[in-house]
């Protein structure tokens, strides 16, 4: 793969990284997984070329990495929030069972 073509591929991977961050901020794990897989294929295709990485490619890769860290943080935040919500539902369910009128009749 030529240097010009690999730059185009990296720019597309950067676009996907930006899209991935946007869907991660919304908490859309399925869309994030699809975008991440598509981006991974692009990055693998660039990594398989036996060439030194030009400085301008490194800048693109650094920006992709930074966006990736932000997206992971957003997804982790949504995952923790969902886990807390599930815990609260469980607590509510137990309270409902404990204080329901049918329990008093037993």
Phi, psi of 85 (to 5 degrees): -60, -40
Q: Over the chain (106 residues), what is each successive 10-residue block's mean pLDDT?
A: 80 97 95 96 86 78 96 95 92 86 59
**E strands within 59-105?**
none
Boundaries of every domain in the chain: 3-77
* pTM, entire model: 0.77
Q: Which of 91, 88, 76 is nearest to 29 (CA)?
A: 76
């Amino acid at each position: 793969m030529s240097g010009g073509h690999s730059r185009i591929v990296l720019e597309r991977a950067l676009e996907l990284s930006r899209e991935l961050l946007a869907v991660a901020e919304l908490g859309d794990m399925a869309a994030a997984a699809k975008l991440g897989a598509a981006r991974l294929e692009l990055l693998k295709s660039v990594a398989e070329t036996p060439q030194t990485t030009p400085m301008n490619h490194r800048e693109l890769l650094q920006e992709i990495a930074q966006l990736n860290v932000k997206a992971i943080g957003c997804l982790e935040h949504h995952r923790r929030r969902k886990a807390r919500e599930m815990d609260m539902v469980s607590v509510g369910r137990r309270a409902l069972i404990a204080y329901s009128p049918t329990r008093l009749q037993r």
